[in-house]
Copies of this chain bind each other. A is one copy, B any other.
C-alpha cells in the first residue's frame, strides 16, 4: 500500500518565516539555517525576536492567516488525496500553520508544537523528535507502507533518501546539482504524475 509524504513549506505553502519577516517588517526574522546552522539556536533566536517585539501567538497567527497556499496547491493535494493517503511532514509548528492547513482542507500533518503561555506569549517549542521527517518515513515503512516523498530543501534530503521513491520539487539549483539522481519537478502536474502514477 502506497502513501505520499510531502514537505510543506516550498511545496504547498510559501516559506513562513520569510513571509512573517516581510509582513511584520522585522527583517531579522529572515535569518535562515544559512545564518545560524543549528535549528535549535535558530528557532530560539526567532522566538526571542518575536518576544522582543511583543508578538504573541495571536499576532503571528493573524499574520500567517493572511498567507495563501501556493498557486495550484489546493487543487494538487485534493486530487492527490483522492488517489493516495497523504501525510505532510514538516519542521514547522502546528499552531503557526493551522490557518494554512484550513485552506488546504486539513491534510494530515506531523510537525512540531509551540509552548504558549496563558497570555499568548510563545515561550519555547517542543521538537517531536530529532530528524523527524526521516523517522516518520521509517515508521511508515515499518508497517509495510511504501513511501513516495517530495521536498525542496536540505532538511528534506534524509527523508527523500529513506523513502522508497523520492523527488525534488522546485528545489534550488544547488540541491538539484548535488542530487542528480533524484527526479526534479517544477510543476504540480509533473509531481502528481510521479506521486500517484495510474499504474499502481
Contacts and interface: CB of A to CB of B under 8 A. Distances in A.
User: Copy number in this complex?
Assistant: 2
Contacts of A1: 94, 110-113, 128
A136 interface: yes
Given A108-B108, A135-B143, 8 more contacts: A3-B108, A3-B110, A82-B106, A110-B143, A128-B143, A129-B143, A132-B143, A139-B140
Interface of A: 1, 3, 81-82, 85-87, 94, 102, 105-106, 108-113, 128-129, 132, 135-136, 139-140, 142-145
Q: Could you tell me the dominant secondary structure of chain A's interface residues? A: mixed
Across the A-B interface, give the 5 residue pairs with the lowest CB-CB distance, nearest first: A139-B139, A85-B108, A81-B106, A139-B143, A108-B108
B102 A82 contact: yes
Nearest to A136: B143
Contacts of A136: 143
A82 B102 CA distance: 7
A111 B86 CA distance: 14
Given A94-B1, A143-B135, A143-B139, A87 B108 contact: yes
A85 B108 CA distance: 5
A109 B85 contact: yes
